[in-house]
Structure 1
Amino acid sequence: MQNRQTQHDDDDDSAPGYVDLQVNGFAGVDFNSHDTTTDDIHRACRSIRDDGAEKFCPTVITDDLDRMTSRIQTLVRAIDEDAATADLIAGIHVEGPFINPADGFVGAHPADQVRAANIDDAKRLIDAGAGHVRLFTLAPEQDADGSATRFLADQNIIVAAGHSDASLDDLHRALDHGLSLFTHLGNGCPGSLPRHDNIINRVLSVSDRLAVSWIADGHHVPFFALQNYFRVCNDDQIIIVSDAISAASLGPGRHRLGDQWVHVDDDGAAWSADRKHFAGSATSLATMVSLMQHHLRCTDVQLRAWTRTNPLRLLGMT
């Protein structure tokens, strides 16, 4: 695959590990379970590092606010207790609860816990993180005046859109208020969309103003479609995320994700129990790099930018 080459000089980077902005769990540890302990998180971190990660963002998804804050606080304790964990975690990613509750857009998130964006709830969630919340995904249409987006951006938190059917006006308003990323484009939306005016085309039309992440396991977005999307975006705007769940690295079978069951097929696709939608990914970022090399013939420069340089720059770590 040929694309516009990244012009950033990455020669000074001494550690070539991956940087994954979205990890819901790994190796049997679910960051969205009330049973998860700090020892479990430390164990997952060791597995994630062994898989080739340099930094990652553990992700807490939509639920009752008390449960979300509790899970964020458990992650904070895990960071405080272990230097290796603190070194590996670049920040906590809060995905929801300010997302679109409509079927398809809500994805694997519990629709009954979705709510409109508001500063009080946003503050409660980031306060639980004690300075460690670094990324927050919301649907711009749920933040009608952009005030929550602006509040989060003013706290030096990366604001991403996702699980969203934002109009172009919604997207432009959010961009003007501090939006800087779109989370896993092509997912968190229904399988069938309007022919032309849909969330994928809307986001691609403003991709010169924000970074865009994709799940590159070949299931969430077919590789031929992913190649088309990559041709639209500059290489320095593309970010690959795993969206890994606790089933990642465990192989086929039935696994937990929060309060639901996920079935992983022999080909690695992770499905909700009703098989209506994917429920995160069972594929690690390292495996996604191999898949993109094979299916898309991406260059080493591109893959390094998409899985390391670009997310590090977004995090302000370069």
Structure 2
Amino acid sequence: MRLTGRVVTPAGISGYVDVAGGLLTEIGGADPGDGPWILPGFVDIHTHGGGGHTFTTGDVAAARAAAGFHLRHGTTTLLASLVSSPFSLMSSATVAFAPLVAEGVLAGVHYEGPYLSQIRCGAQNPAFLRDPSIEELTQLIALGEGAVRMVTIAPERPGALEAIDLLVSHGVVAALGHTDATYDQTITAIDAGATVGTHVFNGMRPPHHREPGPVFALLSAPTVICELVADGIHLHDGTLAFAATVTGADRAALITDAMAAAGMPDGEYELGGQSVVVADRVARLTRDGSIAGSTLTMDAALRQAVHAGVPMVAAAQMAATTPARAIGLADTLGALVEGLRADLVLLDDTLRVDRVMRAGTWLPDE
């Protein structure tokens, strides 16, 4: 099967892509200057749900529905992100989601907490926050049988460095976020093996010219990929463009941080046992008004990045290639490169999703 249009590859824009046997077999031709945009399927490494469904309770049917919602918006690979929870829920959700990972519905499980800062907890439930536990993590990794893909930790908490060492030794990505760490504490955690910054700027000690904190440490570290919530709410477009310029597209990953309300009407929702009110796309905790995730989808994140001045080739890299590399999947997917899995998103001139292909098969029209 040959598809023609503006094919966005890591090297630039080509004119056609061939698909056979679920793989990309040939890419070539000059930039046609028109036709649909053809991008790699988006890779979202941080999402809590969407379409009225959540990952945070460990419900298999809800997880499958949330993944299906995001697939229709071009996300062909995603992690199911939990929020800070009791160990019992973390355990049951991990066991429940492991078959979905084996099936390919999910690319893995991400624990955003509970090993986070009280003062920078944001919408995380403070009742469940605690110091990193080697015992808990060891059990969860074993229960997941390869499903546990990433864990977000505040590096200043006691036991954080030991937890990072454990995660890295088991092939699990250690991410830093929801932290009040100093610059030096963040650098120490990076040196210990942390390779992702969780929604950089958000849920972190703000930078100051005499105490740059975690933001400057993460943006400047050559081994760290920085998550960015490109919804125009979490980050001003100027901040988004600045961060992408500092990191380059090979160290910036667009994420949604979406909750169940993504794609749904304004109203009342729930996140991690806490009430959330959504009004005009913005999700906030009822108790204190903290931003509670987002209602974003990855196609909208791409549009926001382009609107902020990120070139299309770089934006596609930030929406697919870099996040795939962040979670160790770059050899399989995340770019329009011959030999990789045929995950494609066709966008119209307004960058809205027209069609989605996953592993060489078109998503049925609804």
1:99 equivalent in alignment to 2:111 = no
CA shift digits 1:177-232 (9 cap, x unpaired): 21111000111136x76564243543256332311111110111111222222222
1:243 equivalent in alignment to 2:243 = no
SS in 2 for 1:94: strand
Q: Distance in 2 between matches of 1:121 and 1:253?
A: 35
CA shift digits 1:105-164 (9 cap, x unpaired): 111111221111131121122223221001111011115571110110010011110001
Q: Distance in 2 between matches of 1:139 and 1:204?
A: 13
Q: Distance in 2 between matches of 1:204 and 1:138?
A: 14
48, 58, 74: which one aligns with 1:24 = 48
Native 8 Å contact 2:219 2:243 kept in 1: no
Q: Distance in 1 between matches of 2:180 and 2:292?
A: 19
Q: Which residue of 2 aligns with 1:276?
A: 289
Q: Which residue of 1 aligns with 2:165?
A: 150
TM-score by length of 1: 0.87
Q: Which residue of 2 aligns with 1:299?
A: 311
Q: Distance in 1 between matches of 2:176 and 2:208?
A: 19
Bigger CA radius of gyration: 2
Q: How many pairs are equivalent?
A: 301
Q: Which residues of 2 match residues 81-230 of structure 1 at below 5 A?
A: 86-102=103-119, 105-144=120-159, 146-189=161-204, 194=208, 196-204=210-218, 206-230=220-244
Native 8 Å contact 1:118 1:143 kept in 2: no
Letter in 2 for 1:289: L
Q: Distance in 2 between matches of 1:38 and 1:167?
A: 39
Native 8 Å contact 1:38 1:77 kept in 2: no
**Over 6 Å off, 4+ runs:** 10-13
In structure 1, list runs of 5 or more residues that go unmatched.
Answer: 1-6, 81-85
Q: Which residue of 2 aligns with 1:50?
A: 72
User: Greater CA deviation, 87-96 or 201-210?
Assistant: 201-210
Q: Give the Å deviation of 1:53.
A: 0.8
In structure 2, list runs of 5 or more residues that go unmatched.
Answer: 1-8, 18-22, 25-38, 332-366
Letter in 1 for 2:107: A
Native 8 Å contact 2:220 2:247 kept in 1: no
Native 8 Å contact 2:241 2:309 kept in 1: no
Q: Residues 46, 145 of structure 1: CA spacing in aligned structure 2 closer, same or farther, 3 A cutoff?
A: closer
Q: Give the Å deviation of 1:251.
A: 2.8
Q: Distance in 2 between matches of 1:205 and 1:89?
A: 28
Q: Report percent identity of matched pairs.
A: 25
Q: Which residue of 2 aligns with 1:313?
A: 325
Q: Distance in 1 between matches of 2:296 and 2:148?
A: 24
Q: Distance in 2 between matches of 1:285 and 1:107?
A: 22
SS in 2 for 1:23: coil
Letter in 2 for 1:277: S
SS in 2 for 1:121: helix
Native 8 Å contact 1:167 1:202 kept in 2: no
SS in 2 for 1:55: strand
SS in 1 for 2:275: strand
Q: Distance in 1 between matches of 2:116 and 2:110?
A: 14
Q: Distance in 2 between matches of 1:89 and 1:41?
A: 9
Native 8 Å contact 2:196 2:225 kept in 1: yes
RMSD of aligned residue pairs (Cα, Å): 2.4
Letter in 2 for 1:49: L
Q: Distance in 2 between matches of 1:262 and 1:49?
A: 24
Letter in 2 for 1:185: V
Q: Distance in 2 between matches of 1:160 and 1:145?
A: 11
